[in-house]
Amino acid sequence: MQFFIDTANIEQIKEANALGILDGVTTNPSLMAKEGITGKDNIYKHYKAICDIVDGPVSAEVISTDYEGMMREAHELVEIAPNIVIKIPMIKEGIKAIHSLSGEGIPTNCTLVFSAGQAILAAKAGATYLSPFIGRIDDTNWNGIELIREVAEIYAIQGFDTLILAASIRNSRHIVDSAKAGADVVTCPLPSILGLLKHPLTDIGLAKFLADHAKASK
């Protein structure tokens, strides 16, 4: 399973990259706004800065909601760096754009996915990645991990190549459960990645090892 970080924060991307386990980055317009990045030039410069840090796929989301606009933005975004992936919302015009971009060999990430039916459509259109939003599904008293499991089953039965990218991860347990449910990629905020490190018995065990070593070395 691949690990992406879900942020536009440069320091957090550097910190995750320094761990040596980072395979890529996802962003969205809300994450860009959170960093105070506004205006097309600044946003494109920011994507370039991220692509200079990470070699793996970097998802850059289109703002247009019509086919022509999405295609125009996609063609501009792919010029930024060779590892840019075009993030397209799961809407009718988006499916058309994913199909066209797939035909041009441009990688896509179909975002805002909340159902298995949407997952089938995105795969049929040739999406490279599919982003089911598991945290937001959980927020509606449904089960985001069950959607990952259902899509993984369908893609395996049907032989679809689209990679399942578990998104809207809210905690470390979501990462473990996504792995069990068949996600190919998880995109996570930094605290959820770092949370995987934590276990009280590790801390207690290490403190004891170091204390015993110090005692024996006296």
- For residues 6 and 30, is the Cβ–Cβ distance under 8 A? no
Both tokens of 124, joined, read 């049929």
| 29 vs 69 by CB, closer to ligand E4P | 29
Q: How many binding residues for ligand E4P (CB under 6 A)? A: 11
Within residues 24-43, the interface with ligand E4P by CB under 6 A covers: 26, 28
Q: Which stretch binds ligand E4P (CB under 6 A): 129-137, 142-150, 154-162, 173-181?
A: 129-137
Give CA angle at 46 (45, 52), nearest 5°: 90
Q: Please report which residue ranges of 78-133 form alpha helices under DSSP H.
A: 92-103, 116-125
* Options 3, 6, 57, 145; binder of ligand E4P; rule CB under 6 A: 6
Which member of 14, 34, 87, 208 is catalytic?
87
- Does 47 bind ligand E4P (CB under 6 A)? Our answer is no
Q: Which stretch binds ligand E4P (CB under 6 A): 47-55, 132-140, 147-155, 191-199?
A: 132-140
CA atoms lying within 13 Å on the CB side of residue 174:
27
- Does 128 bind ligand E4P (CB under 6 A)? Our answer is no
Distance in angstroms (rounded) separating the CA atoms of residues 120 and 29 = 25
Start-to-end C-alpha separation, the chain: 45
Distance in angstroms (rounded) separating the CA atoms of residues 65 and 61 = 11
Residue type, 94: G
- Does 178 bind ligand E4P (CB under 6 A)? Our answer is no
* Options 29, 56, 69, 135; binder of ligand E4P; rule CB under 6 A: 135
Residue ranges in contact with ligand E4P by CB under 6 A: 6, 26, 28, 111, 131, 133, 135-136, 167-168, 187
Active-site positions? 87
